[in-house]
Amino acid sequence: MRVLDTSAFIHEYTTDDSVVSVPEVHDELDGETALRFDAMEGSGMTIHVPAPEAVGNVERAARGSGDLAELSDTDVRLIATAVELHATLVTDDYAMQNVAERLDLDVEPIARDGITEEREWRFQCVGCSRTFDENRERCPICGSDLTRKNPA
């Protein structure tokens, strides 16, 4: 079973496996790609709404990796769907892939190479250069913006 992200519809992804998506993906599509979603739904694609507990677990994992700010609500729901259904996540989104790896999910990239390593991001202040484990609106020391950094 494959859980399809928006990029799967944009890149005309095909598979012989059963496919699943979430309603929010349709909202991100327009024109021909929205019609592709509708056609796949009409030909057997399942639309899944993940449980709030699964969404919360994905948000915690994404917060732990430092990817939560990079993920949309749709992204979180897709990952939660893959967790609930023990399915392969089909996406080109690196933040989604990073969180999926953290949750031991199989990932299939489409048009780009997949990630090569799981990352746990740190956040650095552009003003005073202090680093933090969690993302914040502003640096609590000097009030400057924070940027996401790879600790490696």
Domain shared by 102 and 140, yes or no: no
pLDDT of res. 129? 81
Stated length of the chain: 152
pTM (two decimals): 0.76
Q: How many structural domains comprise the chain?
A: 2
From CA 114, how far away is CA 53, in angstroms rounded? 27
Please say whether the beta carbons of 81 and 3 come within 8 A: yes
Containing structural domain, residue 151: 121-152
Quick one: tokens of 126? 């552009």
**Structure confidence at residue 126 as a pLDDT band (50, 70, 90):** confident
**Structure confidence at residue 111 as a pLDDT band (50, 70, 90):** confident
Helix (H) / strand (E) element for 122: namely: strand 122-125
Helix (H) / strand (E) element for 82: namely: helix 73-85
Domain shared by 59 and 25, yes or no: yes
Of 26, 32, 27, the C-alpha closest to 12 is: 32
What are the percentages of helix, strand and coil residues in the chain, rounded to 5?
Answer: 40, 15, 45
